[in-house]
Structure 1
Amino acid sequence: MQHYRSDNMDEMAEDYEMGDVEDDMYEEFQGRGLGDSDSDDEEYGSLNGRATDISAAQARKGKDIQGIPWDTLNITRERYRKTRLEQYKNYENVRNSGEASEKDCKQTDKGGMYYEFQRNTRSVKSTILHFQLRNLVCATSKHDVYLMSHYSVLHWSALNGEKYEVMNVSGHIAPCEKHPGSLLEGFSQTQVSTLTVKDNLLVAGGFQGELICKFLDREGISFCCRTTYDDNAITNALEIYDSASGAVHFMSSNNDSGVRDFDMEKFQLCKHFRFQWPVNHTSLSPDAKLVVVVGDDPEGILVDAHTGKTVHALLGHLDFSFASAWNPDGQTFATGNQDKTCRIWDIRNLSKSVSVLRGNLGAIRSIRFTSDGRFMAMAEPADFVHIFDVRNGYNKRQELDFFGEISGMSFSPDTEALFVGVWDRTYGSLLQYSRLRNYSYFDSLL
């Protein structure tokens, strides 16, 4: 991935803020609440000084789900969307890589309705630090979400609407347990680039190759280490999984072209695979035998999880990839690329992808399947999350349409909820959607 870091998120905002559109629109939004604000105190100034959540009941009555007061602006939502689509700049690493042609991309029906808007929690400020890394939101249940908000790892409860700080990395942080290989002196002012949470384990990765492990049912930090002291050491992605022995492991993908596997029962590095290019994302198959590896090369690879040897090359993408995910069925998986496409692959025939799904305005930065394999969501850098009906062959999709950079998304393990983090100086928030159910058997009672 691009060797990029920022000591101040406002630097990145200059290039990726919602207000970066035509001048008159920018001035209008800036004056009305969609422009720049350098501090939390200044934000929501147009909303009587405080952020108000938006409920499903309010949305059904016509209120914008982000609270944007379109009726007071000199521009309609439709016109702003049109301009956004025309002017949003998709980042490319491969010069003149182009985009997949229309004939190569699957034509899908946009009429799907699988998840409905539930709530926009504007008091929870979801943020990002790197414009290519968007894995900073993790749901552990339909009520519990973990996300990055500046230098804080927050837990938010959808049940009681309360948030609390799980970990603060703005100052010095060090492990309170002693384990071989743990960096006892810890870290200072860690810039978190990626985050994952599963069951009781939280793992955060940093810009300097930092790994910070915290068990949520224990006080303090359990384990800290630096994967490498390489100049280009960003931790790009993390995945927690249960090994065949039952021990909890996590896999780290780094910009030094390495993939590392850690055993959290023994707090030890047990595998280290090296590749020819920086690794931006990896995904372990449900049976833990194969790993999808994508990074700074249009060609991804499928490798043996035990040896790291290539099983098959994945050909078709035109630029660098930053996302991957396995369908729980273990037969298919997906990869997301800066060529604005998500490709679906079948392990029974890897000569080419079986489907090419196209986004609207930018790279596919994040991909998630529901645990039942029924739906797959793919997130663009901003504004759009697409939910596909997997069992219907990806022929039908639902499009979630909003404004702002996407910090991450996560289905709850029971598939009942989908959370989307939105980063924007004024309208940054956490969007919550609930799965629609068709309880047709109730009809027999009427």
Structure 2
Amino acid sequence: MMADDTPTFISLPHLTKYSEEAQNKPVFEDNIITEDMCIRGIDMQGIDWFKESMTRDEYRNQRIKEYETYLSCKSDDEDDTLEEQIQSQQTKPVAKNEEYYTFRSSKINEPCSIGHFQLRNLVWATNKNNVYYICGDTVRQWSPQRQKSAQVMDLSTANTPGSISCKITSMACAQQVLFAGGFQGECAWKALDLDSPIQYLSNANTASGITNYTDIIRDRKGVLLGIVSNNDATIKCINLTTAQIQKTLALPFAVNCSSISPDQNMLCLVGDSTETHLIDANNGEPIAKINEHFDFSFACCWHPDGRTFATGNQDRTTRVYDVRNTSSALHVLGSHVGAIRSLHYSNDGQYLAAAEPIDFVHIYETQTYNSSQVIDMFGDIAGVSFTPEDQSLFIANTDERVGGIFEFQKVEEDPIFYF
């Protein structure tokens, strides 16, 4: 990934939010918008389209027309060869009119942020009432039930002996542990117990050791590990109990994302390369190398079945593979406007969520990948997260005026009765 952290965000105009009613009461209190309000016609982002100079469709078309996706492999601004290759990709025709998750609520103006414009895995829902996200160089927790947020980790200053301040670029929350990675390879973590101290580790091998992606697992022996994908072309396994690096795997390129298989035998990894690598998680030995993408990848994940995995790339595609035959992708799924920067399978494996840098989150059914839902909003997407039981999907949107935390709830299928 780029060491330069200058984001290439597309700015939103001053969209008009709903004003006060005649009784001098706000249309929605505390910037909370609910499902019932949305049914009554209030936009889920609080945008008053009746006061805009453009309709929502007109504004959507303008956003798509003006957006320029970032390509790392483009050698010359005047050279359109790469763009032509990307546009000529054969992507799978997918129906986009399904509704697997329906809008439940949003907290508008809840400040979410992005540390680096290419890194968008910055929201984790540990359950339906605890959602963790980045705000500047702090991690905050949002509770939909209490409709309140609170700071749970502050890395903006080093104000105690042994502490580290850092610019947060990655974050994970699992196994009752919160873990954050920084712009110069710093790592910080703490148990979700509010009284527990923060532990720190600086692990970069070079000045460009950005912590691109983090995950938390328990190995087969029950040891709690932080899996860190670094810009210094390494993956590090950190023992979160001893605060020691337990294992380092060296790779031929900066690693932007890695995902361990459900049986913990294989690592899928992507980075500053068109290649996707499968390696033995125990010794780092290569298992397979795939080279079908046209640019750098920033997302990958395993299906819970342990056979299927997906990769997300700046060539505007998600590619789905079967580990038993990696010669070509099973499915090539196209985006609307930009790179696929965040990928997550639901825990039951029924759905795959794929987030673009702005405006769009795709939810694919994974039986055939023939159908999908497209969540359409306005603003930069910081991340997406299913809850462990898959009943909710959370999206963090960083726009200062109409962004925030958005919750979508799973649509339950009607029961089938047999007589």
- Shared fold by TM > 0.5? yes
Secondary structure at the counterpart of residue 65 of structure 2: helix
CA distance in 2, matches of 1:417, 1:436: 10
**Cα offset, 1:101, TM superposition:** 5.0
C-alpha contact 1:300 1:314 (8 A) present in aligned 2 = yes
**Cα offset, 1:229, TM superposition:** 5.0
User: Which one of 385, 394, 419 corresponds to residue 410 of structure 1?
Assistant: 385
Secondary structure at the counterpart of residue 59 of structure 1: helix
CA distance in 1, matches of 2:204, 2:338: 31
Output one character per residue of 1:1-39: Cα deviation in whole Å (capped at 9) or x when no partner. 011235xxxxx4xx41433xxxxxxxxx337469xxxxx
CA distance in 2, matches of 1:30, 1:403: 12
CA distance in 2, matches of 1:435, 1:33: 28
Percent identity between the aligned chains? 33
Q: What aligned pairs does 1:29-428 form with structure 2 within 5 A after superposition?
A: 29-30=13-14, 32=16, 52-95=31-74, 96-98=81-83, 99-101=85-87, 104-172=90-158, 185-188=162-165, 190-217=166-193, 219-228=195-204, 230-391=206-367, 393-428=368-403
Unmatched runs of 5 consecutive residues or more in structure 2? 19-25, 75-80
Secondary structure at the counterpart of residue 197 of structure 1: strand
In the alignment, which residue of structure 1 is the partner of 2:77? none
Number of aligned residue pairs: give it: 405
Q: What aligned pairs does 1:11-30 form with structure 2 within 5 A after superposition?
A: 12=7, 15-19=8-12, 29-30=13-14
RMSD across aligned positions (CA) = 2.1
C-alpha contact 1:51 1:123 (8 A) present in aligned 2 = no
CA distance in 2, matches of 1:32, 1:380: 24
Q: 1:307 to 1:162 in 2, by over 3 A?
A: same
Letter in 1 for 2:48: P
Q: 1:201 to 1:77 in 2, by over 3 A?
A: same
In the alignment, which residue of structure 2 is the partner of 1:181? none
Output one character per residue of 1:298-347: Cα deviation in whole Å (capped at 9) or x when no partner. 01111110111211101200000000000000000000000000000101
TM-score normalized with structure 1 length: 0.87
CA distance in 1, matches of 2:205, 2:275: 27
Letter in 1 for 2:62: T
In the alignment, which residue of structure 2 is the partner of 1:38? none
CA distance in 2, matches of 1:219, 1:75: 50
TM-score normalized with structure 2 length: 0.92
Q: 1:31 to 1:428 in 2, by over 3 A?
A: closer
Letter in 2 for 1:403: F
CA distance in 2, matches of 1:312, 1:204: 30
Q: 1:91 to 1:103 in 2, by over 3 A?
A: closer
